[in-house]
Amino acid sequence: MQKIFEDYKDILDKAFEVMEKAYAPYSKYHVGACIKTTDGKYHVGANIENASYGLTNCAERSALFHVYSLGYREDDIESMAVVTRGNTLGSPCGACRQVMVELLKNDTPVVIANTSSQAIITNIAELLPFSFTSEDLK
């Protein structure tokens, strides 16, 4: 597990940094995400809550939408990190997984880590098997 923190130090450091900037006055559950693009740049996103709750945007989607807004596409994404506080790994929610299956390649590494030094490396194919994709619309 320590090797994950070494191998993905930069992206995890940036994800933990942006986690502190989350706007989460209701849940107090701060999440940070960071995407490394193949040009060596890092792009962050945090969860942004809303008093209406349903309009809350998760950190994963904040980061992915930002990266796509800059013109990057799935082939330009090298890896993604998602981090939380606490003793459990904050795995992406269902809504984020559906967005991730659309915007990430199946084998793009997704590192999930927390402030308790736990970490795993997974990908969207593992997180959302038998998913609905553009292939189903053909």
User: Which positions touch Zn ion (CB under 5 A)?
Assistant: 58, 93, 96
93 annotated to a ligand binding site: yes
The answer to whether 34 is a known ligand-binding residue is no
Give yes or no for a contact between 77 and 40, defined as CB atoms under 8 angstroms apart.
Answer: no
Residues annotated catalytic, as ranges: 60
Extended strands (E) in 2-137: 31-37, 42-46, 77-84, 110-114, 119-122
Smallest distance from Zn ion to CB 138, Å:
27
Rank residues 11 and 96 by Cβ distance to Zn ion and give the closer one. Answer: 96
Residue 47 assigned ligand-binding role:
yes
Q: Are the beta carbons of 11 and 81 closer than 8 angstroms?
A: yes
Binding-site residues for Zn(2+), in ranges, read 58, 93, 96
